[in-house]
Structure 1
Amino acid sequence: MALATRTDRHPSLVRVFWASTVGKKAVMAVSGLIMLGYLVAHVMGNLKIFFGPEEFNAYGHWLRTMGGPVLHEKWALWLVRVALLAAVLAHGVSAYQLSRRDLRARPVRYVHRRRRTSYATRTMRWGGVILALFIVWHLLDLTTLTVNPRGQEGHPYENVVATFSTWYGDVIYLVAMLAVGLHVRHGFWSAAQTLGAGNAARDRTLKVLANGLALVLTAGFVSVPVAVMTGVVS
C-alpha cells in the first residue's frame, strides 16, 4: 500500500515533462521539424513532375516499393505515414493545449494588439486549422482518389493533372500552400528558440533561413498547379 502511494506521489518523468509548458513546446518543436523534413522531401518529389509522366510515375512506384526486397510492398510507405501521423497529432495536441493554457493565463484580451507581432504569428492558429483540413482533402484527392475527378490507381502524374485541371483543386491547394509558407516561417524560428539554437549571434541567420525555407517550399509546391494551369505540365 505504501509503495502504491509513493508511486502515485511521484509521476514518471515523461508525464512531468509533458505536463510542463517547456515539455509541450519541445514536443511541438521536434514534431514540427519532423514535418518540415517531410515537406522538403515531398516538394523534391513533386518537382519530378516537370520531367514527364514516365519519371513521375516511376517515382510514385518507388514510393510503394521502397525498402524492398527486405520490406513488403508499401510497408516502408506505411511506416513513414504512421511516423508522420504521430508527428502531426503530437504537434496539434501540444499546440492546442498550449493555446488553452495561454488563454487561461490571460482571460482578458488585450485592448491593443502588439504592433510588432508578425502576420504569420497572428495567423498560426487559423493556419493550423487550414492545414489540418487540407491534409484530409489531400488524402482523399491523391491517396484514396475519392474526390479526384479522374483518379486512376498507379497513375500519379495523371491524377495530379486531373486535380489541378479544376478551379477548386487549384484554389484549395494554393491557399493551403500559402498557409504552409507562413507556418514554416514562424514555426522554424520558434522551434529554434525552443530547442536553444537561437542567440544574439545566430538570430539574424535563423530568421534568414526561416524566410528562405518558407519561400522555397511555397514556390516549389505552388509551381506544380501553376504549371498545370498554364499548360507547361499536361
Structure 2
Amino acid sequence: MAVTGLALVAYLFAHMLGNLKVFLGAADFDRYAAWLRTIGEPVLPYGAFLWIMRAGLVVAVGLHIIAAAQLSIRDRRARPVRYVHSQRARASFATSTMRWGGATLAVYLVWHILDLTVGVANRDYVDGRPFHNIVADFSVWWVNVIYLVALLMLGLHLNHGFWSAARTLGFAGGAIRTVGTLVSVVITGGFLAVPIGVMTGLVA
C-alpha cells in the first residue's frame, strides 16, 4: 500500500505540473498534450505510451485499494472486540476520513476519465482540443463543485497517506510530517489552480 501510494503521488505531481501549462495558453497546452502522445516513437506507436501509463495507473490504484481492504480486515481481526471508548477522538480529521476519502477519490477518478479523457461526460468535448475541453468543463458551476470537493479530499488523503507510507518504509519524525503537508498542499493547490483559473477568467 505504501509503495503504490508513493508511486501515485509521483504521478500526481507530474500530472499537476503538466496541467499548469494551461496558463500558457491554448497553443502551448495543446502542443504539450500532443507531445505526450509521441513519447516512445518510433519504437512505440502514436499514443501507446499514454495507454501503457494508464494501464500502470489502473494496476497501481487496484493494488492500493486491495491493500487497503486487506489491512482493514486484518485490523478488525486483530481486535474483534471494540474499544469501550472510541479512538476516533484522538485521530486527526485526515486520518478519520481516509477510508471514505479513498472511496470518494475512486468514484471521482471514474468521473474524471469520462469527463476529460473519454469526453462522454463533457457536452462540449472536442477530440484533440484539450485546452478547449478544460475551459468548457470548468465553465459549468456544478462541475467545479465536483472537482473542488474531490481535490480537497485528495489533499486530506495525501497529507495523512504520505506520512503513513513513509513511516511504513522506515522514515519517521516531524520532518516527514512537514514534507507530507507540503506535498499535499502543493499538489492540491496546483490542481485547484486550473478550475479557479477558468472561473476567474485567467484561463479562457
TM-score after normalising by structure 2? 0.96
Q: In the alignment, does 2:7 pair up with 1:34?
A: yes
- In the alignment, which residue of structure 2 is the partner of 1:190? 164
Which SS does the other structure have where 1:147 is aligned? coil
Alignment of 1:154-169 (within 5 A): 154-169=128-143
- In the alignment, which residue of structure 2 is the partner of 1:147? 121
**Alpha-carbon displacement from aligned partner over 1:91-116 (angstroms, at most 9, x marks no partner):** 00010111122123333443333533
Higher relative contact order, structure no. (Cα contacts within 8 Å, ≥ 6 residues apart): 2
Alignment of 1:115-126 (within 5 A): 115-126=89-100
- In the alignment, which residue of structure 2 is the partner of 1:205? 175
Provide the C-alpha distance between the structure 1 equivalents of 2:87 and 2:44, rounded to a whole number of angstroms: 53
Which SS does the other structure have where 1:188 is aligned? helix
Output the amino acid matched with 1:80. M
Q: 1:228 to 1:96 in 2, by over 3 A?
A: same
Provide the C-alpha distance between the structure 2 equivalents of 1:36 and 1:212, rounded to a whole number of angstroms: 12
Structure 1: stretches of 5+ with no match in the other structure: 1-27
Q: Is the 8 A contact 2:94 2:160 kept in 1?
A: yes
- In the alignment, which residue of structure 2 is the partner of 1:231? 201
Provide the C-alpha distance between the structure 2 equivalents of 1:90 and 1:195, rounded to a whole number of angstroms: 17
TM-score after normalising by structure 1? 0.84
Provide the C-alpha distance between the structure 2 equivalents of 1:56 and 1:45, rounded to a whole number of angstroms: 8
- In the alignment, which residue of structure 2 is the partner of 1:43? 16
Which stretch shows the higher mean deviation, 217-226 or 113-122?
113-122
Alignment of 1:72-83 (within 5 A): 72-83=45-56
Q: How many residues align?
A: 203
- In the alignment, which residue of structure 1 is the partner of 2:151? 177
Provide the C-alpha distance between the structure 2 equivalents of 1:149 and 1:104, rounded to a whole number of angstroms: 47
- Kindly name which structure, 1 or 2, has the bigger radius of gyration based on alpha carbons: 1
Deviating 4+ runs (over 6 angstroms): none
Provide the C-alpha distance between the structure 2 equivalents of 1:57 and 1:172, rounded to a whole number of angstroms: 24
Distance apart, 1:71 and its partner CA: 1.2
Q: In the alignment, does 2:75 pair up with 1:102?
A: yes
Output the amino acid matched with 2:175. T
Calculate the aligned-residue CA RMSD, in Å. Answer: 1.1
Provide the C-alpha distance between the structure 2 equivalents of 1:215 and 1:87, rounded to a whole number of angstroms: 23
Which SS does the other structure have where 2:89 is aligned? coil
Provide the C-alpha distance between the structure 1 equivalents of 2:30 and 2:112, rounded to a whole number of angstroms: 18
Q: 1:151 to 1:114 in 2, by over 3 A?
A: closer
Structure 2: stretches of 5+ with no match in the other structure: none
